[in-house]
Chains A and B, each alone.
Chain A
Amino acid sequence: MTDPIIITRNLSHIYQSGGFQKAALVNINLEVARGSCVAIIGVTGSGKTTLAQHFNGLLRPTAGTVIVDGINTSDKGTDLQTLRQRVGMLFQSPETQLFARTVFADVAFGPRRMRLERRAVRERVIAALEMVGLPHQEYAWRSPFTLSGGQMRRVALACVLAMQPTILVLDEPTTGLDAEAREEFYAYLRRIQQEQGVTVVLISHDMAEVATLAGWIYVLHEGHLVMQGTPHTIFSQGDQLRQWGLAEPPLSELLTLLRRHGLAISPEVLTLEEAFAVLRDGSKVPWVP
């Protein structure tokens, strides 16, 4: 890969509490391309969040190295503050982290901590709110707690964006949002990725979401990186995914069933449009004896 923004080499992480040890990550080697959107999938406890926490130095490797945007997080002298400004983390249910009296104060919190001058803070807040579709004239002076769930989540995203990160790590970003709020969130995310060239790392249980957003997928199972590839490659291996406790997106599952019934549908077919085009004229789909 020409310009990876995240590199892990033989990354292992062992959680230790008292005499109890658990290997959360074992020998992970991966490279994330700058400006891409990648997804990490795996069941609860497979190590997804542990891996993501290495990307901004919340955790450091027990063994191996992690290099993020040129910063080696294992170095004792690593400037974690710079690293954390470059890597924005949106944790699960981020609206619970909102605390200020106004949307403005919440979004301004990070930039203020960076000791930017007032005008720069203001500009960043306005730009970040604009980016998530909450115009500041209308929303900046409202209490975040008067907003809907989807809007609160977008405020939380604006808080991260105001730090102008180069990498955005999202942990289950749309859990509990309804279809419309979800679609809006995706649209803003794509915009951020395209307009700002931000690299997005998505952790999600929702395979349809992963198939929609990510260009590359990493599959974790019991702390091991067991598979990686494009959504086409990953989701065409339903049986393998199920062994790791994962489900295909519902549409892939349907296509897998059809193939098993003997319909020769190419593994390239993944989206609704593609499936419709292939199946509309039933006679075009050859049967495999």
Chain B
Amino acid sequence: MNRVPLIDIQHVTYAYPGQRGKHGAAQVVATLQDVSLAVGEGEYLAVLGHNGSGKSTLARHCNALLIPDRGRVLVAGMDTRVQANWRAIRDTVGMIFQNPDNQIIATVVEDDVAWSLAVRGLPAAQIRQRVAAAMAAVGITDLRHLAPHQLSGGQRQRLAIAGVLALRPRCIIADEATAQLDPLSRREIVALLHRLNQEYGLTIIQVTHLLEEAALAQRVVVLAQGQIVMAGTPASIFADRDQLRRLKLAIPEPIELAARLREAGLPLTPEALTVEAIAREIVR
């Protein structure tokens, strides 16, 4: 990892306003409890956890949508508690959510990608160039004259990603960005995030409850009850199936099969985590 992390989460504790209660702090269960995590520039990190584990809350601390009750978050050295930093922080860290429709504004695809640039008053030539580059990066150039409602779910999510990319962030956080998509579109989006990381060196934080989506990440952290309970490479995380089951995370059947075959003495490596890799090792 680089000397200075792009996102530095230091001892963050956070409770939503409703949780803080009327009777003092004693009975409050915080959504995040003393979480520390550093994300390096160019890293591809997956944040795993079941519903209510605190993973989305953590993601929202990374671009100042939420501000810690205790501890602090530094984004490219900027403290999210300082309101004057918010604009620069959000230009640095872009976010996409479960439902792309919540961040699609315009009635034509290319206008939507241009929207946030126009709002910031960039010169027209620069807007055109950035919009074209962003659409090309996510593969929606051919769709640029369509209305967003004419796109499929996966295409709309790619549009949302293009809108964020146009702002030239250093990091993209995908918060359950595939949850509403069909399986093929889901894979397409995961592959796109992987490619953006590989080709553009973009830092990716992928928040998900699906193990199979974490297989391509360089590092995985698992959250439960507002704390980081596991951290490591995908191979090392996936190896501890009992712990994953206790954490209410479903183990994809191909990975379960590979693990049982390995236990039965077949020469499969723990690094085989995708269907293709497992198939290759079985036939070898």
B158 to chain A, nearest CB (A): 15
Pick the residue among B50, B253, B256, B283 that contacts A178 (CB under 8 A). Answer: B50
| Contact between A261 and B283, CB atoms less than 8 A apart | yes
Is B108 part of the contact surface with A, judged by Cβ < 8 Å?
Answer: no
Q: How far is the CA of A177 from the CA of B52 in the complex (A)?
A: 10
Is A249 part of the contact surface with B, judged by Cβ < 8 Å?
Answer: yes
Contacts of A45 in B (CB 8 A): 152
| Contact between B253 and A208, CB atoms less than 8 A apart | yes
A205 to chain B, nearest CB (A): 5
> A-B contact count, CB below 8 Å?
96
> Of B75-83, B164-172, B232-240, B273-281, which binds chain A?
B273-281
Interface residues of B in 247-284 (CB under 8 A from A): 248-250, 252-254, 256-257, 260-261, 264, 266, 275-276, 278-279, 282-283
| Contact between A272 and B266, CB atoms less than 8 A apart | no
| Contact between B179 and A176, CB atoms less than 8 A apart | yes
Q: A262-B283, A276-B257 are in contact. Are A182 and B250 (CB under 8 A)?
A: yes
| Contact between B248 and A178, CB atoms less than 8 A apart | yes
Q: How far is the CA of A205 from the CA of B176 in the complex (A)?
A: 16
CB nearest to A45 among chain B residues: B152
Total residues of chain A contacting the partner, CB 8 A: 38
A243 to chain B, nearest CB (A): 11
| Contact between A250 and B253, CB atoms less than 8 A apart | yes
Is A258 part of the contact surface with B, judged by Cβ < 8 Å?
Answer: yes
| Contact between A249 and B253, CB atoms less than 8 A apart | yes
CB nearest to B256 among chain A residues: A272
B224 to chain A, nearest CB (A): 11
A94 to chain B, nearest CB (A): 15
Contacts of B252 in A (CB 8 A): 250
Binary CB contact string for chain B from 7 to 21 against chain A (1 if under 8 A, 0 otherwise): 000000000000000
Q: How far is the CA of A47 from the CA of B70 in the complex (A)?
A: 50
Q: How far is the CA of A261 from the CA of B282 in the complex (A)?
A: 10
Is B180 part of the contact surface with A, judged by Cβ < 8 Å?
Answer: yes
Q: A250-B254, A275-B257, A279-B257 are in contact. Are A44 and B182 (CB under 8 A)?
A: yes
| Contact between B276 and A257, CB atoms less than 8 A apart | yes
Is B209 part of the contact surface with A, judged by Cβ < 8 Å?
Answer: yes
| Contact between A272 and B50, CB atoms less than 8 A apart | no
Q: A149-B51, A179-B50, A181-B51 are in contact. Are A272 and B182 (CB under 8 A)?
A: no
Contacts of B50 in A (CB 8 A): 178-180
| Contact between B51 and A245, CB atoms less than 8 A apart | no
CB nearest to A279 among chain B residues: B261
Is B123 part of the contact surface with A, judged by Cβ < 8 Å?
Answer: no
Contacts of A261 in B (CB 8 A): 279, 283
Is B153 part of the contact surface with A, judged by Cβ < 8 Å?
Answer: yes
Q: A179-B248, A282-B266 are in contact. Are A254 and B182 (CB under 8 A)?
A: no
A168 to chain B, nearest CB (A): 23
Pick the residue among B181, B260, B275 that contacts A254 (CB under 8 A). Answer: B275
Interface residues of A in 241-289 (CB under 8 A from B): 242, 245-247, 249-251, 253-254, 257-258, 261-263, 272, 275-276, 279-280, 282
Contacts of A245 in B (CB 8 A): 182, 184
A232 to chain B, nearest CB (A): 16
A83 to chain B, nearest CB (A): 30
Contacts of B179 in A (CB 8 A): 175-176
Q: A254-B275, A279-B261, A279-B282 are in contact. Are A175 and B180 (CB under 8 A)?
A: yes
CB nearest to B50 among chain A residues: A178
| Contact between B51 and A250, CB atoms less than 8 A apart | no
Contacts of B180 in A (CB 8 A): 175
Is B212 part of the contact surface with A, judged by Cβ < 8 Å?
Answer: yes
Interface residues of B in 84-141 (CB under 8 A from A): 98
Is A2 part of the contact surface with B, judged by Cβ < 8 Å?
Answer: no
| Contact between B279 and A254, CB atoms less than 8 A apart | yes
Starting from the known contacts A43-B182, A182-B250, A250-B254, 13 additional A-B residue pairs (CB-CB under 8 Å) come to: A44-B153, A45-B152, A175-B180, A176-B176, A177-B51, A178-B209, A178-B248, A208-B253, A250-B252, A251-B257, A253-B254, A254-B254, A257-B276
> CB within 8 Å of B: which residues of A?
43-45, 148-150, 175-182, 205-208, 242, 245-247, 249-251, 253-254, 257-258, 261-263, 272, 275-276, 279-280, 282
